[in-house]
Amino acid sequence: MTIRKRMTMLIATDSIIVLLSIYIGYFILHPKTSTISDEVVLLSAVTIQIAHHFFAWYYGLYRKAWSYASIGELKSIVKAVTFTILIVAGVQFAISQDVHIRALVLTWMLHVMLIGGSRLSWRLVRDVVVKDKNMKTVRTMIIGAGQAGTMIARQVQNNPEYGMQPVLFVDDDKMKEGLEMFGMRVYRGTENIPQLVEDHAIDKIVIAMPSMGKQPMAGLMKRCIETGIKTQTIPRIEDLMTGKVSVQDMRDVKIEDLLGRDEVQLDLQAIADKLTGKTILITGAGGSIGSEICRQVFDFRPKKLILLGHGENSIYTIDMELRQKVSTDTEICPIIADVQDRNRIFDLIGELKPDVIYHAAAHKHVPLMEGNPMEAVKNNIFGTKNVAEAARFFGVSHFVLVSTDKAVNPPNVMGATKRFAEMIVQNLAKDSETKFAAVRFGNVLGSRGSVVPLFKKQIAKGGPITITDPKMTRYFMTIPEASRLVIQAGTLAQGGEVFVLDMGEPVKIVDLAKNLIKLSGYEEEDIGIHYSGIRPGEKLYEELLNENERQSEHVFPKIYIGKATPISETEQSYVLEKLPAMADDELKATLVGLANRKFVEAPKLEADAM
């Protein structure tokens, strides 16, 4: 139906309703005889017609989409009718010095009911006829009967194209138990979710509790996905209320949600003091951690952001992404360079003069580095040495090395090279104005070397998921959280610290795999889990500190200082000189031995430190 036809139909319908309202109102009060002159009734009818169409146009009654009518539209109808009747009363008083109050009140009531009924019938047709005919709905449980949950229910009921049929609420508020909201009963107790899913043939769960803490939310999400039912969560309630997002922005529960880690509030002023208006260099800028550090540093409006990496495609990708952000404050400078090229690194740092360097460039894949140990040495040790010594030589204010928990008691080349890189940074800090620091953390979910993308690919192919050992555990953190804490740790550096990020509790890899299978809508027997055995250089359990390192108290929420003891500068120089000529076996034995050496004088790690 065209807009013109629709408007003509509404005006004609309203005209009939208006006349019926006034004549029925007068007829009910004066069914046989009337003391009211025909002239007054006729003039009132003409006036009510003109006034109604004016106020109906003014309040948008001919422009609204009545198939989505709600309380707001009903208010517009009441306003239009009320002002129309007031105009009629004024006309009656002007011509006869008398107002037929009872007749006008009755007319007002009929007017509102008939106009409102005609409009709301559009929604009734849409909700009942169109919905039943064209839309296959999914029976949905909404967890949370508060402001967010009721908003979701209202939007879903008003928009059948979402394909959802809200069936019930679940809420822990005992005051709401047994109540009905939007035609749905409220059941109490999230522990009853599995039984409610079965009893009510639920096909989908929507968690609408945006104010719940991360840890209890993680527990709730686990309970939901264990039912095998598709589970989604909603955006922040403040975004829903301001209209920034809608029900369409509901997203599936992700594996990161199940970590249950509360977001750390950063010291934004301290970070801004270090980054805003400064020149920042990030090596490995195209990698998972490096690119996220780029994104977060960019938000602090540095004067220049230097993206340095060896792979042109990854640097191109993060460069293009950042350029899509509207900012005239930051100059983005993509650089293709290899940290192993000492002359190139010195030339770049001397020319660009960065104030802060985040060194994220590294080879990180444990089994690959076992087979290519010299490449790990060249990139992780000599590459770090090149960038760090250039930072000292040109007076860079802060240098932050992105390290790993695999540097603790490493049985592998990758971990040993990263521990040696930490030692280089610690020794450089002894006689330098540059504030050097290393930040050590565990695995990050979603990185290119993470098990999560691998597991997702294996699930997509129908399985099985391959795990090295059922006892394998790892510390996990999201990429954004790790990057934020790396940036925050850089503001705390005084020189030579090895900062350790609090990774929470270690996660069994097999549990991670089972949760991913559930989140993908499968059962474990559908996909299967195959144990392949530990690969060269792998450990069953990762550590954040070894027995010879002492962990300080928190220097910031989720950030510790690990008292990692370096080797002497003489010994370091000797090893660096000999490494290039070593055979693979000797190289590994030397580095692993240095990384795991025992310092008798170092204080013991307290049992409850973590």
Which residues are marked as active site? 406
Cα 72 to chain center, whole Å? 32
Q: Give the tokens for residue 60.
A: 């948008």
Residues 310, 337 contacting (CB under 8 angstroms): yes
Residue in the structure block whose two tokens are 């795990």: 467
The CA distance from 109 to 121, in Å, is 18
What is the rounded distance in angstroms from the CA atom of residue 210 to the CA atom of residue 451?
28
Cis check: omega of the bond before 464, within 30 degrees of 0: yes
| Whether the Cβ atoms of residue 137 and residue 163 lie closer than 8 Å to each other | yes
Structure tokens belonging to residue 222:
């686990």
Distance of alpha carbon 525 from alpha carbon 265, whole angstroms: 41
Q: By the 8 A CB rule, do 459 and 522 touch?
A: yes
CB-based burial, 328-339: b 16+ in 10 Å, e otherwise: eebebebbebbb
How do beta strands 180-181 and 184-188 pair? antiparallel
CA distance 539 to 16: 83
The H-assigned helical ranges of 59-206 are: 71-96, 101-124, 131-134, 147-158, 193-199
Longest CA–CA separation in the chain, Å: 120
Looking at the chain, the number of H-run helices and the number of E-run strands are 23, 21
